[in-house]
Amino acid sequence: MPFLTEQKQKFDDLRVVLHEDNRTQLKRTANGGNTVLFVYPPADEEEYIAHARELYPEGHFIDVAELFVKSIDLLGDEYNGFSKEHQPLEGFKAFYNDYISTSFKAFTNDYPNCLFSLIVTEICQASREGKTAFLVHTGALEGTGIENVNIMEHKTVMSQGIPLVIFYPADYRNNELLFLNHKTASNYRCHLVK
C-alpha cells in the first residue's frame, strides 16, 4: 500500500508541475532549466513507465534503450560505408575499436547519428507536435558519457515551450541524487519530483 500512495503522490506532483500555468515557476525552481526529473526506485521502473503511459497517452515517449540500439546501427552502417555485405554491429565494433581511447564520443555529440543527437532530435520533434516528451529507460545512458545535465542544459531543450520529463531511476537520500542508486547526479537544471 505505501508504494501506491507514494506513486500517486509523485504523479500528482508531476501533473501540477507540468500544468501550463506553472511553467514560469518551473523555470525558477529549475534554475532556468526546462526539465522535470521524475525520480523512482530502479526496480520499479517498468511499473512507473506503464502508469505514465496510461496517464499521458498523448505524451511523446522517447525510449533511450531503443535509441541506443538505433545509434549503434546507424554508426555501424556509416563506418561500413553503408555496405550491405557487413552488419551494422560489426561496423560499430570496428569503429569502437579504432577509437577506443575516445569511444565515449560515439555516444555524445561528435557524430550526427550519435545517441545524444538522436535524443535531442526526438525532444524537438515532441515540442513541434505540441507534446510533452518523456525520456524513459535512461539507465541505458550509464557508461555512454552522457549525463542528465548534458540533456537538461542543451540549448534546444532549455528553449522548448513544453518541459521535458526525464524518468530517472535513482535514489534521493541525504539531499543527494544517486543515479541507479550509486552514481551522484546533478539536479541543478531541473525541477525534482522525488
Taking Cα atoms as reference points, which of 124, 187, 118 lies closest to residue 160? 124
CA distance 125 to 13: 25
Rg of the Cα trace of the chain?
17
Boundaries of every domain in the chain? 33-170
β-strands 164-173, 133-136: how paired?
parallel
Q: Per residue in 15-61, pLDDT tens?
A: 999 999 999 999 999 999 999 999 999 999 999 999 999 999 999 99
> Is the confidence at residue 114, as pLDDT, over 70?
yes
pLDDT band at 130; cut points 50, 70, 90: very high
> Is the confidence at residue 63, as pLDDT, over 60?
yes
Contact 30, 186 (CB under 8 A): no
- SS3 of the chain: CHHHHHHHHHHHHHHHHHCHHHHHHHHHHCCCCCEEEEEECHHHHHHHHHHHHHHCCCCEEEEHHHHHHHHHHHHHHHHCCCCCCCCHHHHHHHHHHHCHHHHHHHCCCCCCCCHHHHHHHHHHHHHHCCCCEEEECHHHHCCCCCCHHHHHCCHHHHHCCCCEEEEEEEEEECCEEEECCCEECCCCCEEEEC
Give this prediction's pTM.
0.92
Residue 88: per-residue pLDDT: 87
